[in-house]
């Protein structure tokens, strides 16, 4: 063969990098712009009181989004998180009178197991994750309806979950602090163990990961477990705030959670992203939510905004080089 030796490094995705860099800062920029805009619109916004309220609202969303981020990083999606959280609020409300303080860990454990079941179904039966979790969404909603009798379950004695309603240092809501700790914990575990490279490899290129001996199936099931656990924890936060559980209580958190993940810049195609990004994304989404009424936009626009955000953010962060045909 007389092919001349050429040793220049291959130019791979040089074009994609500036865009990457931009989307990397996207959530932070969006957050800053939002805060600035809201402060201009309502000088009373940048006060300790409204910030505290906003962060308290954001807490369950942060936790939900952080858990589901792991599934997205693996290249899948978990559409059942909100329904699972709803079911968990019902279970918590039902079990609190009997189990007291134990109810919280038990509910989180049950949610983890449900996540594990979905992950196992996805991995073993080779069903696409979105259809497994869509089915899960439907099943979990049905279970929640049945066990709650389709009504709100009141919590009379909320002493066991009251701690989440406290304030750290008088200003920071405990639920928000817990949410940040959860995100930090997930991020830390990923950082100091091989899990980070396993998850990224699974998300970027599942077949390469498998042929490198990465425990792809375990990683995926694990991601669904964390997603489930986070849904359970989010449910505890919701119950502590609302003093009740309901079969549809968290259902309207699905879209904001998905929006938070994609706004944060985690690619829906998998691999690229982090839980910190989802934290920023969740804050952006929450600010939009509390900010719309401030600038005088009817809250009905909230849904429309979520829809547009999801489509635009996915379009911006998608890694097109890796999927030739998009269905």
Minimum gap (Å) between residue 268 Cβ and another protein: 6
Minimum Å distance from CB 230 to another protein?
A: 20
Angle between helical axes of 16-41 and 275-294 (0-180°, round to 10): 30
**Pair 276, 183: CB distance under 8 Å:** yes
For every residue of 228-249, which 3-state class applies, written as one string? HHHHHHHHHHHHHHHCEECCCC
Q: Which is nearer to another protein, 154 or 191 (CB)?
A: 191
CB 78 within 8 A of CB 226: no
Report which of 219, 308, 255, 226 is spatially closest to residue 79, judged by C-alpha positions.
255
CB nearer another protein, residue 75 or residue 173: 75
Site residues for another protein, 56-115, by CB under 8 A, read: 75-77
| Closest CB to another protein among residues 12, 156 | 12
Print the binding letters for residues 109-148 with another protein: x by CB under 8 A, - otherwise: ------------xx--xxxxxxxx-xxxxxx-xxx-xx--
| Piece of 5-13, 21-29, 58-66, 176-184 that binds another protein (CB under 8 A) | 5-13
Q: How far apart are CA 135 and CA 113, in angstroms?
A: 16
Q: CB under 8 A: which stretch of 39-47, 49-57, 172-180, 187-195 binds another protein?
A: 187-195
Decide whether 27 or 76 has the Cβ nearer to another protein.
Answer: 76
Nearer to another protein among residue 184 and residue 318 (C-beta)? 318
Q: Report the site for another protein in 24-63 (rule: CB under 8 A).
A: none
Residue 19 lies near another protein (rule: CB under 8 A): no
Residue positions counted in the chain: 327
Of residues 55, 98, 103, the one with CA closest to residue 232:
103
**Of the candidates 2, 48, 49, 156, which one interacts with another protein according to CB under 8 A?**
2
The verdict on 209 binding another protein (CB under 8 A) reads: yes
Look-up of token digits 């900010």: 291
What are the backbone angles phi and psi of residue 172, rounded to the nearest 5°? Answer: -85, 120
Site residues (CB under 8 A) for another protein, limited to 245-304: 255, 258, 262, 268-272, 298, 300-304
Task: Report d(CA 139, CA 79) in Å as an integer.
Answer: 12
CA dihedral 267, 273, 279, 284 (to 10 degrees): -40
The reply on whether position 314 binds another protein by CB under 8 A is: yes
Q: Which of residues 81, 108, 201, 236 is near another protein by CB under 8 A?
A: 201
CB of 186 to another protein, least distance (A): 16
Question: Exposure pattern of 154-175 as b/e (b: 16+ CB <10 Å)?
Answer: ebeebebbeebeeeeeeebbbb
Task: Give the nearer residue to another protein in terms of CB position, either 118 or 240.
Answer: 118
Count of residues engaged in binding another protein, rule: CB under 8 A: 89
Q: Residue 238 and residue 175: Cα distance in Å, rounded?
A: 9
| Least separation in angstroms between CB 143 and another protein | 6
CB under 8 Å to 252, separation ≥6 — which residues?
Answer: 82
Q: How far is the CB of 101 from another protein (least distance, A)?
A: 30
Q: Which of 50, 52, 57, 205 binds another protein (CB under 8 A)?
A: 205
323 contacts another protein (rule: CB under 8 A): yes
Query: How many angstroms separate the CA atoms of 289 and 302, rounded?
Result: 7
């Amino acid at each position: 063969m007389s092919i001349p030796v050429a040793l220049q490094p291959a130019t791979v995705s040089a074009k994609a990098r500036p865009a990457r860099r931009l989307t990397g800062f996207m959530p932070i920029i969006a957050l800053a712009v939002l805060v600035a805009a809201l402060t201009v619109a309502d000088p009373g916004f940048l006060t300790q009181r409204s910030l505290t309220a906003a962060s308290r609202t954001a807490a369950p969303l942060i936790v939900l989004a952080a858990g589901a981020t792991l599934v997205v990083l693996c290249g899948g999606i978990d559409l059942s998180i909100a329904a699972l959280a709803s079911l968990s609020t019902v279970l918590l409300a039902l079990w609190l009178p009997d189990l007291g303080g134990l109810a919280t860990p038990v509910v989180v454990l049950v949610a983890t197991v449900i996540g594990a079941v979905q992950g196992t179904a996805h991995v073993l039966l080779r069903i696409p994750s979105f259809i497994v979790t869509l089915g899960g969404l439907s099943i979990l909603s049905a279970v929640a309806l049945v066990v709650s009798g389709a009504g709100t379950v009141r919590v009379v004695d909320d002493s066991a979950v009251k701690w989440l309603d406290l304030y750290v240092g008088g200003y920071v809501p405990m639920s928000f602090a817990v949410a940040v700790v959860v995100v930090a914990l997930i991020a830390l575990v990923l950082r100091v163990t091989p899990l980070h490279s396993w998850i990224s490899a699974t998300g970027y290129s599942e077949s390469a990961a498998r042929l490198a001996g990465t425990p792809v199936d375990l990683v995926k099931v694990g991601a669904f477990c964390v997603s489930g656990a986070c849904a359970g924890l989010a449910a505890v936060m919701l119950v502590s705030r609302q003093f009740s559980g309901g079969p549809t209580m968290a259902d309207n958190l699905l879209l904001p959670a998905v929006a938070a993940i994609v706004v944060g810049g985690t690619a829906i195609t998998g691999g690229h992203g982090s839980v910190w990004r989802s934290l920023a994304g969740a804050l952006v989404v929450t600010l939009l939510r509390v900010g719309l009424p401030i600038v005088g936009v009817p809250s009905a626009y909230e849904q429309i905004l979520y829809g547009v955000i999801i489509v635009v953010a996915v379009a911006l962060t998608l890694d097109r080089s890796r999927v030739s045909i998009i269905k």
